[in-house]
Amino acid sequence: MSRTRIGILGCAGRMGRTLIAEVLAQSDRAELAGGVDQPASPALGKPILDPVSGADTGLVVGSDPHALFAISDVVIDFTCPTASVMHAQEAARTGTALIIGTTGLAAHEDAEVARASAGTAIVQAANFSLGVNLLVALTEQVSRLLNDDFDVEVLEMHHRMKVDAPSGTALALGKAAAAGRGVDLEAVADRVRDGITGARTRGHIGFATLRGGNVVGDHTVIFAADNERIELSHKAGDRAIFARGAVAAALWAHGKPAGQYGMNDVLGFTKA
């Protein structure tokens, strides 16, 4: 069976390097087609090394996404919102499947990605780990079983370099809690609190964001009622869990019809 040729966008970044290691580790089914970073990156033109063994892959960091799409079966993108939108449009033009892990996209940017998925298979997820996707499913189920006597709060902590807040995962958890209650998150989200906020509004879903150190990603959904509290938590210990899920999504997406997919499709999770 031929191997899936996978290209990495944002290859010099934290996730980009972890993805390179994961693709190289799965050499029985995946092949690293190439890596691209932004045109001003200091990594440009430098050899792409295996982050684990230090071995030279024979590839160099490029700056041309068009060329990467042309030589790849599937491209994985962990970059920034504006770049991910451009990459989705390029994926649609070339018909190459795309995996998007970038978070912090505005509503209009998500809409652009959705539009591009008419032209190719796009798998988009705020979190590619198995554990978090299970947490999202559990959050929706628990939320469906509880009424507004339980206040829902989503707490997240990430490393000091993270640029978007709340995390994409926290928002996905909030969305799942809202869906469990049959409401739209946008209508009930308290994303920031500061100053004399007044008492908590019944039925709202609150978010709290912590940043510090090198924390890979911690998420807790709290259901707090009078005299009892339920907490559902996930703690990521290594970015490899995201890379493993993203590469699994890439192998799954290769040859799939055009459309917008999520990790539920890749993992075969169905609604309870």
Ligand X SMILES: O=C(O)C1=N[C@H](C(=O)O)C[C@H](O)C1
Ligand Y SMILES: NC(=O)C1=CN([C@@H]2O[C@H](COP(=O)(O)OP(=O)(O)OC[C@H]3O[C@@H](n4cnc5c(N)ncnc54)[C@H](OP(=O)(O)O)[C@@H]3O)[C@@H](O)[C@H]2O)C=CC1
Contacts of 83 (CB under 8 A, 6+ apart): 9, 10, 38, 77, 102
Residue 4: which of ligand X, ligand Y, none does it interact with, CB under 5 to 8 A by kind? none
CA gap 32, 15 in Å, rounded: 15
Between residue 188 and residue 217, which ones bind ligand X under the rule CB under 6 A?
217
Residue 158: which of ligand X, ligand Y, none does it interact with, CB under 5 to 8 A by kind? ligand X
Nearest residue to 133 via CA among 47, 24, 3, 261: 261
Task: State the Cα angle at 221 between 217 and 224, rounded to 5°.
Answer: 150
Sheet holding 205-211, edge to edge: 189-190, 205-211, 151-158, 217-225, 228-236
Indicate which residue of 87, 108, 158, 235 is catalytic. Answer: 158
- To the query of whether residue 162 is one of the catalytic residues in this protein, the response is yes
Residue 223: beta bridge partners? 152, 230
Selected from 158, 175, 244, 254, the binder of ligand X by CB under 6 A is 158
Indicate which residue of 66, 87, 108, 162 is catalytic. Answer: 162
**Which residues sit at the interface with ligand Y, rule CB under 6 A?**
9-10, 12-16, 36-38, 41, 78-80, 83, 101-104, 125-128, 164, 168, 242
220 binds ligand X (CB under 6 A): no
**Is the CB of 81 or the CB of 223 nearer to ligand Y?**
81
**Is the CB of 183 or the CB of 240 nearer to ligand Y?**
240
Residue 264: which of ligand Y, ligand X, none does it interact with, CB under 5 to 8 A by kind? none
CB atoms within 10 A of CB 264: 14
**Is the CB of 138 or the CB of 146 nearer to ligand X?**
138
* DSSP classification of residue 235: E
Q: How far is the CB of 26 from ligand X (least distance, A)?
A: 21
Between residue 87 and residue 146, which ones bind ligand X under the rule CB under 6 A?
103, 126-127
H or E stretch at 88: helix 81-94
Residue 41: which of ligand Y, ligand X, none does it interact with, CB under 5 to 8 A by kind? ligand Y
CA gap 107, 111 in Å, rounded: 6
Q: How far is the CB of 191 from ligand X (least distance, A)?
A: 14
167 binds ligand X (CB under 6 A): yes
Q: At what angle do helices 168-181 and 130-145 cross, to 10 degrees?
A: 30
72 binds ligand X (CB under 6 A): no
Taking a C-beta distance cutoff of 8 angstroms, is the pair 97, 59 a contact?
no
* DSSP classification of residue 218: E
Selected from 29, 162, 191, 204, the binder of ligand X by CB under 6 A is 162
Footprint on this chain of ligand X (rule: CB under 6 A):
103, 126-127, 158, 162, 167-169, 217
What residues are labeled active site? 158, 162
